[in-house]
Amino acid sequence: MKKLIRNVTIFSLFLILISCEERILDKKPLDIISDAQVWNDPNLIEAYVTNLYNRARLDGIYRDFIWWPYYAPCREVVLTDEARMSYNWTDEVAVWNKGVLDGSGGMFDYWDYNYIRYLNEFLQNVETGNVSDDVRTIRSAEVRFLRAFTYFEMAKRYGGVPLITEPQDISQGDALFVERDLEKDIWEFILSECDAITNSLPDSYPGIDKGRISKYAVLALKSRAMLYAASEAKYGEVQLNGLAGVPANDANGYWQESYNASNAIIQSGIFQLYNNYPEDKAKNYQMLFLEKDNQEIILAKKFISVIKGHSHDLFNSPESFKVGWGNQINVTMEMVNDYDMIDGSSGVIDWANIRGIPSVILKDKDPRFHASIFYHGQPWQGDSVVLYWGILADTDGDGQKEKLTSGSQSYNGMPHIGKDANGEDATKTGFILKKFLDEERVLAQGGESDQDWINFRYGEILLNFAEAAFELGKPGEALDAINQIRDRAGIAELSSITLNQIRHERKIELAFETHRWWDLRRWRLSMTALNGDFHGVYPIYDYELQDYVFEVFNCDGYTRGFKPEHYHMPLGNSLIDNNPNLVENPGY
């Protein structure tokens, strides 16, 4: 770990801040702003906090696509059983899904002690400022949340990490090279911080301040983090004398903390499951992620088109509806089959032995499926998505059909390959991500998308509550929470509940929201769920029968791998080389 010293001046920091603030601050020339002015001015303090918000990992798969070194914001989706990346040259396809993760690191790395320093500096310096107690209390609580959230992001990757709560000084010498704290200590710190700041924050914010940390955002973080801590205790193992892993006898205490936090949100009555389109369950679920500041959202990262937008629509629109990249997230057959039918029966389809029109075959699927995944023939932007891959035809009149798949040719006026499957980086599975796309945003350019990324929502809280309640021996409460979600989704309610059903509902309700990878790891199910072959399904049009048959294939071209050591990520050679006091996780 490199020495943790501040590497930006107040001047350069403020230039960054004022570029993204909607308010124009009438201040002295920026080149003579002093530390004292910052910590005595509520507007400058707010600008500082705004910058800390901007740097936090709160933007999910809406983070910027980085060309080199390559980083895809959707990494937490395409490394799971949910999907694969459409681009064959990416690390997700060429390296990580093959299980090639070693001490060099590179996957999900997040070790940001520069950011921790900025957070600690704020908390130290704001105490010296001549500002009101309200400003100091609320802004400090927001920053303590961001710090707790950052430690949560690191703990779920590495286990124990150095717990630093005060700015380090360069004069400390070798003391700068800190050791890892126990993993349990990190979870305890997150818990204590959440408890300390919950009542220092308002229930909600009006107008321009929406998107700030509220009391219920803190409870939501506690709900999620304690679920992770409890899972690590129950399903993981203690290694490196506690640097990785949590003692098993702590599990019930953490389940209870998660249960309590979730219940406090539920009992508040402030949040509800989004249900603005009750007559159209698919549209209702689709609009949950498009309608800003709706009744289900507890905390969201705010975006403004062009001014401060993202590029989700650019990277994920189907081939014929895009202007640039497109088709990025290709959904696996396994994920498609995991969506049950609306009557609650299994949604598994034997694609290799069925024929028919995809929209007919899939019509009775869970409405969340239709809101989340493009399949052949699905309506979109006044047209339809065309994903067939080939035509079966008797071209010679000898009674023998051949499959025609030339991307540049047609048969009796029908292209051999559908317009949204035809292209080097078009769908590799026959299914494309629809969730989060805005149908009104036609031919989206980079930076034009303004969907807010939902960090915490009431649906997750009900799922957290159900899991914790079941683990605590309260299956009736778990069943009620799960059935609230299923009723909103438009799928048959359950009469009884098991832990596997709770986990299944979590997979479907939170699909593609970056939970799946971490859920499998904390349950220690990754080696079961992520090792093996994953498949795509291409519709093939039988020209004579005017119907479709389906070709099932390994969508990766190899067998995916997840190793036992991957339940904790490697710190990486560079961190170990720079700090001799750090201990690497087992297996690297």
The predicted-structure confidence for 333-364, as pLDDT tens digits, reads as follows 999 999 999 999 999 999 999 999 999 999 99
Q: What is the pLDDT of residue 70?
A: 61
**In the chain, % of residues over pLDDT 90:** 85
pLDDT tens digits, 411-428:
999 999 999 999 988 999
Residue 408 burial (C-beta neighbours within 10 Å; 0-12, 13-18, 19+): exposed
pLDDT band at 23 (very low <50, low <70, confident <90, very high): very low
Is the model's pLDDT at 67 over the cut of 80? no
pLDDT band at 94 (very low <50, low <70, confident <90, very high): confident
Count the Cβ atoms, other than its own, within 10 Å of residue 268: 12
Is the model's pLDDT at 54 over the cut of 70? yes
With beta carbons less than 8 A apart as the criterion, state whether 467 and 447 touch: no
pLDDT band at 100 (very low <50, low <70, confident <90, very high): very high
Kindly give, in sequence order, each residue whose CB lies less than 8 Å from that of residue 245, ignoring residues fewer than 6 positions away: 159, 183, 232, 236, 237, 238, 239
With beta carbons less than 8 A apart as the criterion, state whether 277 and 285 touch: no
State the Rg of the chain over Cα: 25
Residue with tokens 């800390």: 52
The whole-angstrom separation of Cα 505 and Cα 503 is 5
The whole-angstrom separation of Cα 573 and Cα 569 is 12
Is the model's pLDDT at 22 over the cut of 60? no
The whole-angstrom separation of Cα 481 and Cα 514 is 21
User: Does residue 548 sit in helix, strand or coil?
Assistant: strand
Q: Give residue 393's identity as a one-letter amino acid code.
A: A
Mean pLDDT score, 78-89: 94
The whole-angstrom separation of Cα 360 and Cα 383 is 18
Q: Alpha helix (H) ranges present in 87-132? A: 91-94, 113-125
- Comparing 185 with 18, the larger pLDDT belongs to 185
Q: Give residue 32's identity as a one-letter amino acid code.
A: I
The whole-angstrom separation of Cα 296 and Cα 161 is 33
pLDDT band at 154 (very low <50, low <70, confident <90, very high): very high
Say which DSSP state 556 is in: S
Is the model's pLDDT at 509 over the cut of 80? yes
Q: What is the pLDDT of residue 262?
A: 98
The whole-angstrom separation of Cα 50 and Cα 53 is 5
The whole-angstrom separation of Cα 197 and Cα 136 is 12
Q: Give residue 94's identity as a one-letter amino acid code.
A: A
The whole-angstrom separation of Cα 388 and Cα 359 is 12
Is the model's pLDDT at 8 over the cut of 80? no
The whole-angstrom separation of Cα 573 and Cα 588 is 9
Say which DSSP state 360 is in: H
pLDDT band at 72 (very low <50, low <70, confident <90, very high): confident
The whole-angstrom separation of Cα 427 and Cα 429 is 6
Is the model's pLDDT at 1 over the cut of 50? no
To which H or E segment does residue 453 belong? strand 453-457
Q: Alpha helix (H) ranges present in 339-471? A: 358-361, 367-372, 458-471
Count the Cβ atoms, other than its own, within 10 Å of residue 403: 14
Cα-to-chain-centroid distance, residue 456: 11
| Helices first, then strands: H and E counts in the chain | 21, 14
With beta carbons less than 8 A apart as the criterion, state whether 571 and 107 touch: no
With beta carbons less than 8 A apart as the criterion, state whether 144 and 197 touch: yes
Q: With a threshold of 0.75, does the pTM exceed it?
A: yes
Residue with tokens 């979109």: 380
Count the Cβ atoms, other than its own, within 10 Å of residue 346: 9
The whole-angstrom separation of Cα 458 and Cα 561 is 34
Q: What is the pLDDT of residue 36?
A: 77
The whole-angstrom separation of Cα 234 and Cα 226 is 12
Q: What is the pLDDT of residue 17?
A: 38
With beta carbons less than 8 A apart as the criterion, state whether 325 and 425 touch: yes
3-state secondary structure 6-26: CCCCHHHHHHHHHHHCCCCCC
Complete domains list, the chain, with CATH? 10-58+110-270 (1.25.40.390), 277-302+455-513 (1.25.40.10), 312-451+533-554 (no CATH)
